[in-house]
Every structure is written in structure tokens, then in C-alpha cells.
């Protein structure tokens, strides 16, 4: 149901692989990709860096708490985000970093907040951010082709991507957790494409068209790819933004999504509609709805 692809075959435009890529984008809204430029060993290093950060005493994480800022850079405490208004705030913790545009007063391009420890965290994560952007862009070129656009259709729109890299830490599912409590509650991602690395522990569940939640797992080095609201709007519903969630289990878990979003001014209105929906407005609205410290309502 969820296509499992080889990035090397996407690169050489293997017909069968491109057909599976299209099917993943247009039907389930999820697929997996292995053999990208990011090796399993590299991914384990990144997961270990996030793990060491989340292990720090809370007081140290508070130094880079995004709640003290007007943007989403740094640490997000448990219950700091509510992605589903019908569920309780998520029990996960996060660390977010993103694309910086020096001098910009847009919060989506705000400066990153880096913790002093663990040693090497900034270097490991920033280097991964850079390389993951390249992998995501390559996948998006494949998607452009799969939906009948020029291969370079998205290139200029992603020159200053509002790309957000997140480390998610899910502790073992708390014993107080009830029906309305999730590691991350049901949601669709807000942007275009999400490149998700995980430590291999199961937990992600994806909603199928017939209303069933199915588990999707991948080992470090294999990525789960899904698509977000902007790309669904932009492609007139051709590419699917599929709901997903993590309830959590007795095993702790780390996942690392890169949310790959175009530049602020990019028009993501349905292609050819003549309407205007600025990517930055959509993303800012969704951030304001879901991060409790940005919630003005």
C-alpha cells in the first residue's frame, strides 16, 4: 500500500520507480525511500545528538525554550503544541531549527537557538539540515515530473525555503495518558514534503482512505516521505496530505522530520486558479494555531 522506493532509481528516472512515486503521492500520500545521500550511520549520529540533547536536565533545555520567543526555534517542552484541537496537547518534546534569513523580521526565518551542550550538537544538526534539504529537493523534482510539470518547477520557489528541521522525542507513553493523549495527535503536515528519519521504533500511524490507522516504520537510513497541506492545495488535490499520528508505546522513540516548505512569497494557490495564497501566510497561520506560545486566540 505504501510504496518503498530506491533513491538511486529515482535519480536515473527508472519508469517503474517514478510510477510508484506518483502512486505514493496521489494515493496513500506516504512512501519510503532508501539509498539517499544520507547513510544509516549518519542518521544514527543525528539521532544520538538529539537523544543527548533531550537527556539534558530540564533547566538546561529551558535556556533555549522557544516559549520565551515569538518564533519556533529551540526547545519545545511537553504539552507546548496542540496539533489537533479535539485532542489534548501532545506529550512529545521537540527541538526545532530552520532556515535563517539575517535581518528578516519574519518569524519563519528567525535566528536559530543552539544549546551549549551536548558538545557538537550545532555542527551535527546544521550539517544534517543542509544535506537533508538536498535530499528533499531531489525528491520534489521527482514529484514535479511525476505530476507532469517540468523537473525544475519547484526549484526557484525553494531558494529561501521555510524549511524546519525537528527532533521529536517521545518518552514511553505516560501512565496517565488517556484516549485524548498522544505523542503527536492526528494532523496533516502544513507544508509541501516531509522527509522523516526515525530510530526504527514503531509508532507512526497513517490514516488509510477507508478510515483505518496503519503502522509505518523505517530503520535509520530509510526515510518516510509524506506530503503536506500546501502541496495538496497547490496541486488541486492531486498530491495527498494524509493524516497521521503517534500514540506511543512502552518504548521511547526519536524521529527527525524535515518539513520542506517553499519561500514566504510563493503562491501555493491551486495552479492556474488565478488566486493567491502566500505560503508564508498559510504556514504562519498553522504555526499560530498549534504552538501554544504563538496562540493568540
How many whole angstroms separate alpha carbon 46 and alpha carbon 51? 9
Tell the smallest beta-carbon distance from residue 11 to ligand AKG (Å): 26
229 near 267, Cβ under 8 Å? Answer: no
The residue among 189 and 229 lying less far from Fe ion, judged by its C-beta, is 189
Report DSSP state, residue 102: T
108 is in the binding site of which of Fe ion, ligand AKG, none (Cβ under 5 to 8 A by kind)?
none
Applying CB under 6 A, which part among 1-9, 39-47, 73-81, 197-205 lies near ligand AKG? Answer: 197-205
How many residues of this chain bind Fe ion (CB under 5 A)? Answer: 1
What the block records as the C-alpha cell of 270 is: 491551486
> Nearer Cβ to ligand AKG, position 11 or 48?
48
Site string for Fe ion, 171-190 (x = CB under 5 A): ------------------x-
Q: In the bound complex, what is the minimum distance in angstroms from residue 170's beta carbon to ligand AKG?
A: 7
Residue (3 or 191) nearer to ligand AKG, CB: 191
Q: Considering Cα of 258, then 260, then 265, then 270, what sign does the dihedral take? A: negative
Asked if residue 261 binds ligand AKG (CB under 6 A), the reply is: no
Rounded to the nearest 10 degrees, the angle between the axes of helix 15-23 and helix 121-146 is 100
Segments of the chain assigned E as strands: 4-6, 30-34, 74-76, 93-98, 164-170, 184-187, 193-198, 204-207, 213-215, 223-227, 244-246, 253-260
User: Helix, strand, or coil here: 50?
Assistant: helix
Using CB under 6 A as the binding rule, whether residue 229 contacts ligand AKG is answered as no
145 binds Fe ion (CB under 5 A): no
CB of 248 to ligand AKG, least distance (A): 10
Told to check if 255 binds ligand AKG by CB under 6 A, we report yes
Which range, of 101-109, 127-135, 157-165, 198-206, touches ligand AKG by CB under 6 A?
198-206
Q: Which of 28, 36, 80, 198 is the binder for ligand AKG (CB under 6 A)?
A: 198
Torsions phi, psi for 249 (to 5 deg): -145, -170
> Are 221 and 34 within 8 A, CB to CB?
yes
Least distance (Å) from ligand AKG to the CB of residue 76? 11
CB environment 191-201: b (16+ within 10 A), e (fewer): bbbbbbbbbbb
**Residue whose Cβ sits closest to Fe ion:** 189
Shortest spacing between CB 189 and ligand AKG, in angstroms = 5
Q: Please identify the residue of the shown chain whose CB is closest to the bound ligand AKG.
A: 255
Q: What phi-psi label fits residue 32: left (phi over 0), alpha (psi between -120 and 50 degrees) or beta?
A: beta
Considering only residues 53 through 92, tell me which ones interact with ligand AKG, judged by CB under 6 A.
Answer: none
Beta strands in 4-54 (DSSP E): 4-6, 30-34
Contacting residues toward ligand AKG, per CB under 6 A: 166, 168, 184, 189, 196, 198, 203-204, 244, 246, 255, 257
What residues line the site for Fe ion (CB under 5 A)? 189
Amino acid at each position: 500500500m505504501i510504496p518503498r522506493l530506491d533513491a538511486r532509481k529515482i535519480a536515473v528516472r527508472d519508469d517503474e520507480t517514478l510510477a510508484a512515486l506518483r502512486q505514493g503521492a496521489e494515493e496513500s500520500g506516504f512512501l519510503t525511500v532508501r539509498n539517499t545521500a544520507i547513510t544509516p550511520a549518519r542518521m544514527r549520529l543525528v539521532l544520538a545528538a538529539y537523544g543527548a540533547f533531550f537527556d539534558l536536565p530540564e533547566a538546561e533545555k529551558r535556556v533555549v525554550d522557544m516559549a520565551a520567543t515569538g518564533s519556533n526555534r529551540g526547545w519545545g517542552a511537553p504539552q507546548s503544541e496542540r496539533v489537533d484541537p479535539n485532542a489534548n496537547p501532545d506529550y512529545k518534546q521537540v527541538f526545532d531549527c530552520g532556515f535563517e534569513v539575517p535581518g528578516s523580521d519574519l518569524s519563519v526565518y528567525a535566528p536559530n537557538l543552539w544549546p551549549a551542550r551536548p558538545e557538537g550538537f550545532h555542527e551535527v544538526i546544521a550539517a544534517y539540515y543542509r544535506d537533508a534539504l538536498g535530499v528533499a529537493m531531489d525528491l520534489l523534482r521527482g514529484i514535479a515530473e511525476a505530476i507532469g510539470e517540468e523537473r525544475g518547477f519547484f526549484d526557484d520557489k525553494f531558494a529561501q525555503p521555510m524549511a524546519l528541521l525537528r527532533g521529536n522525542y517521545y518518552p514511553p507513553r505516560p501512565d496517565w495518558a488517556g484516549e485524548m493523549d498522544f505523542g503527536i495527535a492526528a494532523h496533516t503536515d502544513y507544508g509541501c514534503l516531509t522527509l522523516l528519519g526515525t530510530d526504527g521504533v514503531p509508532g507512526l500511524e497513517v490514516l488509510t482512505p477507508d478510515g483505518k490507522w496503519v503502522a509505518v516504520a523505517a530503520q535509520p537510513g530509510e526515510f518516510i516521505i509524506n506530503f503536506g497541506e500546501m502541496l495538496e492545495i497547490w496541486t488541486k488535490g492531486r498530491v495527498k496530505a494524509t493524516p497521521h499520528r503517534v500514540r506511543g508505546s512502552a518504548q521511547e522513540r526519536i524521529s527527525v522530520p524535515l518539513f520542506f516548505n517553499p519561500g514566504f512569497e510563493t503562491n501555493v494557490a491551486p495552479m492556474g486558479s488565478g488566486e493567491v495564497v502566500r505560503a508564508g501566510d498559510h504556514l504562519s497561520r498553522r504555526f499560530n494555531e498549534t504552538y501554544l506560545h504563538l496562540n493568540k486566540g
